Amino acid sequence: MAEVEETLKRIQSHKGVIGTMVVNAEGIPIRTTLDNSTTVQYAGLLHQLTMKAKSTVRDIDPQNDLTFLRIRSKKHEIMVAPDKEYLLIAIQNPCE
Amino acid sequence: MEIVYVYVKKRSEFGKHCNFSDRQAELNIDIPPNPELAKQFMERNPVDTGIQCSISMSEHEANTERFEMETRGVNHIEGGWPKDVNPLELEQTIRFRKKVEKDENYVNTIMQLGSVVEHCIKQNNAIDIYQEYFDDEDAVEVMEEAPSAKTVSVFRDPQEIKRTATHISLHPDGNRKLAVAYSCLNFQRAPEGMSNESYIWDLENPNRPEIVLKPSSPLVTLEYNPKDSHVLLAGCYNGQIACWDTRKGSLVAELSTIEFSHRDPVYGTIWLQSKTGTECFSASTDGQVMWWDVRKMSEPTEVVIMDITKKELLERALGATSLEFEATLPTKFMVGTEQGIVISCNRKAKTPAEKIVCTFSGHHGPIYALQRNPFYPKNFLTVGDWTARIWSEDSRESSIMWTKYHMAYLTDGAWSPVRPAVFFTTKMDGTLDIWDFVFKQCDPALSLKVCDEALFCLRVQDNGCFIACGSQLGTTTLLEVSNGLCTLQRNEKNMVSSIFERETRREKIMETRHREMRLKKKSKAEGRESYPSEEKPALNPEQLVTEAEEEFFNVIFTELKRREAEAMKEKPKPLKLPSLQTEDEVEGEEQGEEERDGEESPTLEGQP
């Protein structure tokens, strides 16, 4: 339990990180550092996107699997680490 | 014509019920065909009728059924919560979350995912992985293709007796036409019956000339008026200047009077930039440059004599073989002479003596082409004897760049109008050389054999793609060069200007060095007698010739004497040989030869 806290805190403390959140398989945000409405939005949308990406990768090669999803936009970068049950999402402002 | 059928019915029977019955057909009117009427018409043979053999198609219009559309929005609300948890109740959600967090699986997963995410975050912080690295270099379309040129069309002189194509001029707009002047430049060797005609060719039709120009004497040069494309100016072999208007026909429109024209063939005629567009000037080997107004050709408006001693003496004048005029420098013009000197002149000088500004000497023979670089007018190209030279106006002693001495005489040259580093030259062996001095300085970038006979003249089209060259047998060839030679390369202008500057500076440094050395020599020779400077030019050549002759003969005599002496030395040896020969002839001879070869091979006089 403590390690989880420590890990999440460490991630949050990195340079440029705007927010982190943990989402479960149903799209329910478990832990978040952002406000509720934003979290809900991110959770719902990214969950669907990750599912789609995963199925795409598996369709092309069934032996393959999605390990990481990075979405770079003009304003920041969204990093999604998928797992069977949970999703760890981090939003970072890449320093340029 | 009215056809009428009359039938009779009694008045008492009007209104009676009709009783129909069958009846045989009756012929009422028979109008036979009347052949007389045919005479009103004329048989038409053949008859032109348009027929189209195509698929018959029909046109229909269709309209779809209207489709009802409505714009709707979707409102997302939180979901995914298990049934027992009410998302609005904070307590319940917190409780649920806490439950999840206690899960073992959750902890492991988060640890693992956390490390992955951290890696990416650190990566982002380290470098910008999406940075554009090669932004500043544009997509370089590297022209890997080697320079090449191919013949597009060939225009042959339709006359039986072939004459040299001495000058080519391209039509000022559209470049659809080509005017070629034909004449025989060999002195008094024009064959009998040679025609005086010159032609204007249409580029689409190389079989027949489009317009024929009929002068009284063969034309040496021919130029289109850049402002009025119907007017052409020509210089004749007998020294007259002629002007044509293609709308008026093939006979001369204006001709200068013989008394006031040149005395030798006119080698250069150029139109001037003027408001009226009727001014031109011409140069000839008689040493005069004359200005004309084509409306009044009876006498020239101005005459300048190419006498570099500035005394206006016709006897001392140098014959002009080429003329140069650049519209951007309207008061200056340059003349290339038979003696290999380029004279730069100013038209607006107050006294005739000042008209000649300076001279550039460096060629060994007549200068056949003279042109300023279209991008850098201070530098000009001259073509004469076996080399082509590039000069800078600042450096008067010598040219700043020159090609090597070729095996054949160079006859004409021109800059490319689109690339400042490219110029073309033609040679007497029928080759066209394309030089690109930002690419290669020692050799031409491309050397093409256009024909077997000598090439005499060259003209480049304004877009730099097409080149027309004329040969000794009157064949004009139109060539197209590859893209690389007619598109401006990156940085080319800068490179060319830096090349010119560097070479000019080098020449200047050499000039100053030479001057210093000459001054030193002068100061040494001051003690001796100094000849009057006027006579020097006259004496020195003769002196030099006699000195050279003496030297030559001395050298010959000494060499002969030396050989005789050696031959004398060797004479005792051959006396020994006969004794050896009795024993073994072959061996002895070989020995003797070896001995002799060891000393000196050419001395064979001593052999018995």
The pTM of this model reads 0.55
A85 Cβ under 8 Å from any chain B Cβ: yes
- Inter-residue contact B113 to A88 (CB < 8 Å): yes
Q: What is the mean pLDDT of chain B?
A: 81
Q: What is the mean pLDDT of residues B208-236?
A: 86
Q: Please report the DSSP string for B9-70 in residue order.
A: --GGGTTPPP----------------HHHHTTS---SS-----------------PPP----
Lowest mean pLDDT segment, chosen from B177-181, B186-190, B529-533:
B529-533
Closest in A3, A20, A79 to B120, CB measured = A79
Structure confidence by residue, pLDDT tens digits, A51-70: 999 999 999 999 999 999 99
Q: What is the mean pLDDT of residues B55-64?
A: 86
**Contact A4/B111, CB-based, under 8 Å?**
yes
Q: Please report the DSSP string for B310-361 in residue order.
A: SS--STTPPPEEEEEE-TTSTTEEEEEETTSEEEEEETT-SSGGGGEEEEEE
Longest dimension (CA), chain B: 175
Which residues on chain B place their C-beta less than 8 Å from a C-beta of chain A?
A: 76, 78-82, 96-97, 100-102, 105-107, 109-118, 120-122, 124-125, 128, 130-131
By C-alpha distance, the chain B residue nearest A88 is: B113
Is the per-residue pLDDT at B136 higher than 70?
no
Structure confidence by residue, pLDDT tens digits, B23-35: 899 888 888 888 8
- Higher per-residue pLDDT: B306 or A56: A56
By C-alpha distance, the chain A residue nearest B118 is: A11
**Contact A30/B116, CB-based, under 8 Å?**
no
- Higher per-residue pLDDT: B132 or B485: B485
Q: What is the mean pLDDT of residues A32-50?
A: 88
Structure confidence by residue, pLDDT tens digits, B509-568: 888 888 899 898 888 877 555 444 444 444 567 788 888 889 989 999 999 998 888 888
Q: Could you give the percent of chain B with pLDDT greater than 70?
A: 87
Q: How far is B91 from chain A (nearest CA, A)?
A: 14
Q: Domains in chain A: how many in total? A: 1
Is the per-residue pLDDT at B572 higher than 70?
no
Is the per-residue pLDDT at B597 higher than 60?
no
Return the amino acid letter for B428.
M
**pLDDT score of A89:** 92
Is the per-residue pLDDT at B581 higher than 60?
no
**Contact A4/B107, CB-based, under 8 Å?**
yes
Q: Which of B75, B77, B78 to probe by mutation at the A interface, max A CB count within 10 Å?
A: B78
Cα gap B174→B226, rounded to integer Å: 12
- Short-list A43, A23, A70, CA closest to B121: A70
Cα gap B355→B334, rounded to integer Å: 11
Using the structure block, give the residue that is written with the tokens 């092309």.
Answer: A60
pLDDT band at residue B108 under the 50/70/90 scheme: confident
- Inter-residue contact B246 to B200 (CB < 8 Å): yes
Q: How far is A19 from chain B (nearest CA, A)?
A: 12
Q: What is the mean pLDDT of residues B202-217?
A: 85
**pLDDT score of B536:** 47
**Contact A14/B109, CB-based, under 8 Å?**
no
The interface predicted TM-score (ipTM) is: 0.83
pLDDT band at residue B589 under the 50/70/90 scheme: very low
The pair phi, psi for residue B224, each rounded to 5°, is -75, 145
**Contact A96/B131, CB-based, under 8 Å?**
yes
- List the 8-27 stretch of A: residues with Cβ below 8 A of B: 8, 10-11, 14-17, 20, 22, 24, 26-27
- List the 42-71 stretch of A: residues with Cβ below 8 A of B: 44, 67-68, 70
Cα gap B523→B518, rounded to integer Å: 9
**pLDDT score of B33:** 87
**Contact B118/A11, CB-based, under 8 Å?**
yes
**pLDDT score of B103:** 83
Is the per-residue pLDDT at B351 higher than 90?
no
Residues near B344 by beta carbon (within 8 Å), at least 6 away in sequence: B332, B333, B334, B356, B357, B358, B359, B360, B393
Q: How far is B84 from chain A (nearest CA, A)?
A: 14
A33 Cβ under 8 Å from any chain B Cβ: no
The 10 Å Cβ neighbour count of residue B310 is 14
Is the per-residue pLDDT at B578 higher than 80?
no
What is the CATH number for A36? 3.30.450.30
**pLDDT score of B534:** 43
Q: Please report the DSSP string for B381-440 in residue order.
A: EEEETTEEEEEETT--SS-SEEPPPPSS-EEEEEE-SS-TTEEEEEETTSEEEEEETTT-
Is the per-residue pLDDT at B375 higher than 80?
yes
Residues near B607 by beta carbon (within 8 Å), at least 6 away in sequence: B574, B596
Cis peptide before B46 (omega within 30 of 0): yes
Q: How far is A62 from chain B (nearest CA, A)?
A: 22
- Short-list B316, B217, B325, B211, CA closest to B261: B217
Hey, is B477 helix, strand or coil? strand
Range of the domain at A32: 1-7+15-95
Structure confidence by residue, pLDDT tens digits, B388-442: 888 888 888 788 888 888 888 888 999 988 888 889 999 988 899 998 888 888 8
**pLDDT score of B217:** 86
**pLDDT score of A49:** 92
Beta-sheet pairing, B198-202 with B211-213: antiparallel
A4 Cβ under 8 Å from any chain B Cβ: yes
Is the per-residue pLDDT at B51 higher than 80?
yes
HEC sequence for B511-561: HHHHHHHHHHHHHHHCCCCCCCCCCHHHHHHHHHHHHHHHHHHHHHHHHHH
